[in-house]
A and B are shown apart, each in its own frame.
Chain A
């Protein structure tokens, strides 16, 4: 089983969690995800996810002019995003608990 496949299912959750901690622009989010340990996460996947979450209303966005280069679009949380994050956190917790039970149950 490839970690990439697992990640696809929970990328929304990961991205929301990162943005919740601190607003960020595209590559910033990628960098933080990778730093947290998700080294294989694809940039395009993250950018697309950010865009989709924004379209769904779970993220806000604003443009920040940069001194070093072109303007960057930052993504930030809003109430809907926070609610979605909380819900998905729960789902994740339940799911991993169940999986753990399934796996240890068999082994026991």
Chain B
């Protein structure tokens, strides 16, 4: 007898053992299992054993005795997300820098819990459709925010109640983290910046030229001579008002009197800031010591910056051209 037929069971067993070792280099597998069939045939024949052992266990014993790591360690089986995460964390934590970072993150974890509550509150405010910045404004919104923050903190502090709880927490964390950035963007866009506030002061209904307030307007006729008492309106019929002065200034070179530009009275009794050029009136400390316009004091004309300006070229005569109709009779300061 030159060959022994290997029983089918043994062949199958050997095949399974090799499969269990398949993560190892092929060379090694061959070396380990070289005499496998022969040894098994012999032992099977000799032994009273009737059953072959579990191939996986056999392979495991074989590889550990040979000094190889066990199957679970080398096969990159599809780790569940939880396992993959834990694996990553432990590897990062292995390095000194990594573990320092992890320690820091662990320390600021409660900050995240608070932040999470704020993000949820902010989004609820946005969804409620009240407009404005997604930060609590009303008492109700403040209460809601506080409740959400407390709930968020308590949720994380609770002893884990099993995988459902933990998964829900992970899911909530992911969603909140994603929702965080658009929320910040929303807050930023709604919050008025200092630049905007500065600009706003000048832009509320007063004349501004290149960012600088226009305090007075001087008009000249077609010949280039200064004219008085001009009432100005814009294309919508709104008065072009100059900004009312806040402080007084010197009215003459010696500063013997101080004052500021003042409004004009209209015949209908209204006060107008769009009748140019504005005249000045004296300011003096009132009964509280605060400088303010002297009631009833005579107004003085303000020197125009230019005594005369170039004349305007006459229009070319147009055949039966109708001038554009001015808007309806304007009402001052409506």
From B36, B41, B66, give the contact of A52 (CB < 8 A). Answer: B66
- Is B8 in the interface zone, CB < 8 Å from A? no
A45 proximity list for chain B (CB < 8 A): 61-62, 65
Check A51/B64 contact, CB under 8 A, given A27-B39, A43-B39, A69-B38. Answer: no
Interface residues of B (CB under 8 A from A): 1-4, 31-32, 34-39, 41-43, 46, 58-59, 61-67
Chain B interface secondary structure, helix, strand, loop or mixed?
Answer: helix
B41: chain A residues within 8 A (beta carbon): 69
Question: When chains A and B are docked, how far (Å) is the Cα of A70 from the Cα of B37?
Answer: 9
Please name the residue on chain A nearest to B28 by beta carbon: A51
- 5 A-B residue pairs with Cβ-Cβ distance under 8 Å, sorted by A, are A27-B39, A44-B61, A45-B65, A69-B4, A72-B38
Interface residues of A (CB under 8 A from B): 11, 25-27, 30-31, 42-49, 51-52, 55, 67-70, 72-73
Are B38's CB and A42's CB within 8 A? Answer: no
Contact B66 A51 (CB under 8 A): yes
Shortest distance in angstroms between A12's beta carbon and chain B's nearest beta carbon? 10
Q: Is the CB of B43 within 8 A of A30?
A: yes
> How far in angstroms is the closest Cβ of chain B from A33?
12
Complex Cα distance, B37 from A69, in Å, reads 11
Please indicate which of the listed interface residues A25, A67, A69 has the most CB atoms of chain B within 10 Å of its own CB: A69
Q: How many residue pairs between the two chains, A and B, have CB atoms under 8 Å in the bound complex?
A: 69
Which residue of chain A has its CB nearest to the CB of B32?
A51
User: Which residues of chain B are near A72, meaning CB under 8 Å?
Assistant: 35, 38
Kindly list chain B residues whose C-beta atoms are within 8 Å of the C-beta of A70: 3-4, 35, 37-38
Q: A48-B66, A69-B3 are in contact. List 5 more A-B contacts (CB 8 A).
A: A26-B35, A51-B65, A68-B2, A69-B38, A73-B34
B65 touches A52 (CB 8 A): yes
By the criterion CB–CB under 8 Å, are B39 and A42 in contact?
A: no
With A and B bound together, what is the CA distance between A42 and B63 in angstroms? 13
Please state if B38 and A52 are interface contacts (CB–CB under 8 Å).
no
B123 to chain A, nearest CB (A): 59
Residues from chain B with a CB closer than 8 A to the CB of A49 are 65-66
Residues in A with CB closer than 8 Å to B38 are: 27, 69-70, 72
A51 to chain B, nearest CB (A): 4
Whether the Cβ atoms of B31 and A51 lie closer than 8 Å is: yes
Pick from A48, A67, A68: contact of B65, CB under 8 Å: A48
Contacts of A67 in B (CB 8 A): 2
A72 CA to B41 CA in the complex, in Å?
13
Asked, given contacts A44-B58, A52-B65, whether A68 binds B4 with beta carbons under 8 Å apart, the answer is yes
Closest-by-CB residue of B relative to A70 is B38
Q: Is there an interface contact between A27 and B35, defined as CB atoms closer than 8 Å?
A: yes
Cα A11 to Cα B61 in complex, Å, equals 13
Given contacts A30-B43, A69-B41, contact A48 B63 (CB under 8 A): yes
Closest CB-CB distance, A28 to chain B, in whole Å? 9
A85 to chain B, nearest CB (A): 18
Closest to B58 in A: A44
Q: Do A27 and B31 contact each other (CB < 8 Å), given the known contacts A48-B62, A51-B66?
A: no
Residues of A within 8 A of B39 (CB): 25-27, 30, 43, 47
Q: Which residues of B contact A31 (CB under 8 A)?
A: 46
Closest A residue to B3 using CB positions: A69
